[in-house]
Amino acid sequence: MLASCTRWGVTALWVGMLGTGCGGFNESPVVTVGPLVSDNDVLSGTEVAMRLTVTDKENDDITYLWMQTPEEPAGTYSDTHVREPHWTAPEVTTPTEFTLKVYIQDGEGGSLLSATFIRVSPRR
């Protein structure tokens, strides 16, 4: 992102990873809790609740994007753009570990990636 700022008659131009405000540098959001799942060892088809607390020093609006790896078999998020979605474990034929990741942005150039792990076993 290309940004500029004029202050005291001086114009600064920079490629922004630290935010675009003229008042100083933007700090990235901070995860203070989580992400955590309500259960780390579940059976296929089980729904788990996510727990996540994020703060932002500048009180910027925060956006979320939830993902999983491996991508297949795909579990289902109740909503990939909310802070604390539910995730339903996919059908598996052997015990499989998934990483549930959340990409967090503050809209001013601050971002981070946080993750948790969950093991899904087949129903018998």
CATH number of the structural domain spanning residue 33: 2.60.40.10
Parent domain of 49: 26-121
* Other Cβ atoms closer than 10 A to 113: 11
Instruction: Tell me what pLDDT residue 16 has.
Output: 42
The count of domains in the chain is: 1
97 domain residue, yes or no: yes
In a domain, 110, yes or no: yes
How does pLDDT run across 75-120, given as a tens digit for each residue? 999 999 999 999 999 999 999 999 999 999 998 989 999 999 999 9
- Domain membership flag for residue 2: no
Count of alpha carbons within 13 angstroms of residue 98, beta-carbon side: 32
Give the C-alpha separation, 34 to 93, whole Å: 28
Residue 8 lies in a domain: no
**Is 113 part of a structural domain of the chain?**
yes
> For position 38, what pLDDT does the model report?
94
What pTM was computed for the model?
A: 0.78
For residue 70, cis peptide bond before it (omega within 30 degrees of 0): yes
